[in-house]
Amino acid sequence: MPADTRPVLYIIACGAPPASQLPGFVRDAQDQGWDVCVVATPDGMKFLDEGNLAGLTGHPVRNRYKRPDEPDILPAPDAVIVVPATFNTINKWVQGISDTLALGLLNEAVGRHLPIAAVPWPNTALATHPVFLRSVATLREWGVRVILDLGRLPQPSSAPPGSAPAPGPEPVPFPWAEVRAILPALHAESQAS
């Protein structure tokens, strides 16, 4: 069987509801010529159908560092996209913290100068936190393409922690069209490097 020559896109999924919508985005990326691998944060795994994603991509969904005696089971990335990216992941990433596989791969991607995009999805209260705003600015300084519209983010929950969510407005739609539209630029940049 001939080797797969498609560029490899790592999708880093964090713990936010849009992660449950990844299968459609995986198919879109594959239609654009990518070999897709999904890596999740520990909280991101709560939103994923691991078996479905592994079946779609042909690769296992990774969420932890491998043991020293385990082989590396994913091909090396040519580009990385963090979708959705949480408040926690964005801030830890900018600080160079690699306490999860997802963060370790993001930090390596910056060091390797890979094409990277991130789609932060905090609620509106977290999105205006000064540290988060500085982190987003830093990522942009590093050349990371950041898709973030502060006017199109979910509202914070008004329910007390541990209680059922209060009924509220319709959920804010995740910007999947903008995410799909950035894939050709990542592809072109990955081919140029």
pLDDT of residue 63: 94
In angstroms, the CA 37 to CA 74 distance is 7
Alpha-carbon span 185 to 51, nearest angstrom: 29
Q: Is residue 111 part of a domain?
A: yes
Cα gap 123→135, rounded to integer Å: 16
Does some domain include residue 162?
no
CATH number for the domain spanning 140: value is 3.40.50.1950
Stated as kind and residue range, the H or E segment containing 81 is strand 79-85
Does 11 have pLDDT greater than 70? yes
Query: Which pLDDT band, with edges at 50, 70 and 90, does 171 fall under?
Result: confident
pLDDT (0 to 100) of residue 45: 96
Has residue 131 been placed in a domain?
yes
In-domain check, residue 143: yes
Q: Which residue has the higher pLDDT, 105 or 4?
A: 105
Kindly state the average pLDDT of the residues 68-96: 95
User: pLDDT tens, 131-157?
Assistant: 999 999 999 999 999 999 999 999 887
Residue 180's identity, in one-letter code, is: R
Provide the domain count of the chain.
1
Alpha helices in the chain (DSSP H): 22-31, 50-57, 87-94, 101-111, 124-127, 130-141, 176-192
Question: How many angstroms separate the CA atoms of 13 and 81, rounded?
Answer: 9
CB 125 within 8 A of CB 154: no
Specify if 163 maps to a domain. no
Residue 2 lies in a domain: no
- The answer as to whether 133 is a domain residue is yes
Say if residues 108 and 173 touch (Cβ distance below 8 Å). no
What integer is the mean pLDDT of 110-128? 97
Give the structural domain span for 87. Answer: 8-65+75-157+168-192
Q: How many CB atoms lie within 10 A of CB 130?
A: 7
How confident is residue 28, by pLDDT bands cut at 50, 70 and 90? very high
Identify whether 95 is part of a domain: yes
Question: pLDDT value at position 172?
Answer: 84
